[in-house]
Amino acid sequence: MQAFDVDILVIGGGSGGVRAARLAAGHGARVALVEQSAMGGTCVNAGCIPKKLYSYAASYAHAFDEATGFGWALPSGQHLDWITLKKRRAAEIARLNEVYESMLVTGGVQVLHGRARLADAHTVVIGNQRITAEHVLVATGASASLPDIPGRELVLTSDAMFDLPQVPRRLLVVGGGYIACEFASIYRALGAEVVLVHRGGGLLGGFDDDLREFLQAEMAAEGIEFRFNTTMQRIQAEAGLRIVTLSNGDRIEADAVLCATGRKPNTNGLGLEEIGVTLTPDGTIAVDAGFQTSVPSVFAVGDVINRAQLTPVALREATVLMDRLFGGGTLRMDYSAIPTAVFTHPNIATAGLSEAQARARFKRVAIYRSTFRALKHTLSGRATRTLMKLVVDADIDRVVGVHMVGEEAGEVIQGFAVAMRAGASKAHFDSTVGIHPTVAEEFVTMRTVVAEFHHDVLVAAG
């Protein structure tokens, strides 16, 4: 039997890689992990964590306005100290970087810093060091991609949005997905004039249509301008400004331009194709249901494969894979009904099927929907509204989709996602006593079907 330096070598210190390394070590495996930059990956350094912190910061702009409706007399001229926010965010991220590395080291993982490359199916080269491993896990994630247009060097990616010199007076956002919508919403609340340009006809393709339309209306009410069915053709610098020409001929002046039109897998320079690892047409690593590549000793999880690009998904994939390699092999990855949130203002959260997906899958679908002004805003003075929606397979009364647009939507939907995974019926929802007064209770008090579909035919509506 061939002797290897380690049982598994993990390339990438992001969410999936760190989880895999820690679990493997916990199973008693000899583990090494290689990371070329700050520990924690996109989520910790330039994604979920800093973006949510900035979303919190932006929410105070609304909170100050709302407080007066509850009798608080605040000093006039509330002002954001942008430098302080950036410094405190950077300090928190640095703390998390240290926590991640400490967890690995104390857990018995050998941590290596540098650029890794696969020399063969069992050998990884890091600088002048060569390490052999029985298994190699690639968890290198993805990074922002930019369009090939004149002036693309003047465009910012999401990574740069946390350390701008100041909040731009005018921000142009290109894209209509999670990242584009979140930064448009955050910077609008922080005081920027925001124009969002998207090649599609609406925001957040793939989400339930009611949620998409409702969020778009709420963001427009906050002052965000939308330009749909158009693309950015070129960008120029003039007198410190960015001049963007759109496909319809319009020219927009901005202080900063964020392009959030997609992400590409981080596979360059890893030596994957040289050793026979197959890549998909979009550049991701092709894997089977067990995350194994075309080279049996090489595996991949997270954003570098063509699955759902979400941090909790990468964590679960890593958990399932380490159980397969070093545990009992009983765990499975299920991509159905994955809950997710978009931290716009207001938030979106969803789990399960959209109305359109349910109608394509089931014979009879019942829709329950409620829109209302939350109790808080009866005094706050804000006109913002909440949308809550249930999608039900009417033949068996099972809830197959839960959707919400409103404050703390992610916190609300998480628990309902558990219920849905457990097979909860609409009758279970109806028999659950609500917590009053809360927004969440609306999910257990909706009794009226607003639409019912048989195949693709609308048979009842209210």
What are the extents of the domains in the chain? Answer: 6-143+264-326, 152-261, 346-461
CA dist., res. 51 & res. 180, Å (int): 12
- Which helix (H) or strand (E) is 37 found in, with range? none
- Output the pTM of the full model: 0.95
**Half-sphere exposure of 290 toward its Cβ, with a 13 Å CA cutoff?**
12
Same fold? 6-143+264-326, 152-261: yes
Query: What is the assigned CATH class of domain 6-143+264-326?
Result: alpha beta
Which residue stretches of 273-408 are H helix? Answer: 311-326, 355-361, 376-380
Q: How far is CA 330 from CA 240, 318, 320, 323, 325, in A?
A: 58, 14, 8, 7, 11
Q: Which of 272, 271, 238 is nearest to 255 (CA)?
A: 238
In the set 79, 198, 428, 436, the catalytic residue is: 436
Residue 54 is predicted with a pLDDT of: 97
For the chain, the 3-state helix, strand and coil shares in percent, each to the nearest 5, are 35, 25, 40
Q: Domain 152-261 belongs to what topology? A: FAD/NAD(P)-binding domain (3.50.50)
Residue 168, both tokens = 């731009």
Q: Rounded CA gap, 183 and 178, in Å?
A: 9
Q: Could you tell me the CA-to-CA distances from 5 to 175, 229, 389, 401, 410 in Å, in that order? A: 45, 54, 53, 48, 43
The answer to whether residue 436 is catalytic is yes
Alpha-helical runs (H) found in 327-436 = 355-361, 376-380, 409-421, 426-431
Q: How far apart are CA 301 and CA 16, in angstroms?
A: 7
Superfamily of domain 346-461: FAD/NAD-linked reductase, C-terminal dimerisation domain (3.30.390.30)
Tens of each residue's pLDDT in the chain, 462 residues: 569 999 999 999 999 999 999 999 999 999 999 999 999 999 999 999 999 999 999 999 999 989 999 999 988 778 899 999 999 999 999 999 999 999 999 999 999 999 999 999 999 999 999 999 999 999 999 999 999 999 999 999 999 999 999 999 999 999 999 999 999 999 999 999 999 999 999 999 999 999 999 999 999 999 999 999 999 999 999 999 999 999 999 999 999 999 999 999 999 999 999 999 999 999 999 999 999 999 999 999 999 998 999 999 999 999 999 999 999 999 999 999 899 999 999 999 999 999 999 999 999 999 999 999 999 999 998 899 999 999 999 999 999 999 999 999 999 999 999 999 999 999 999 999 999 999 999 999 999 999 998 875 655 554
**pLDDT, position 456:** 59
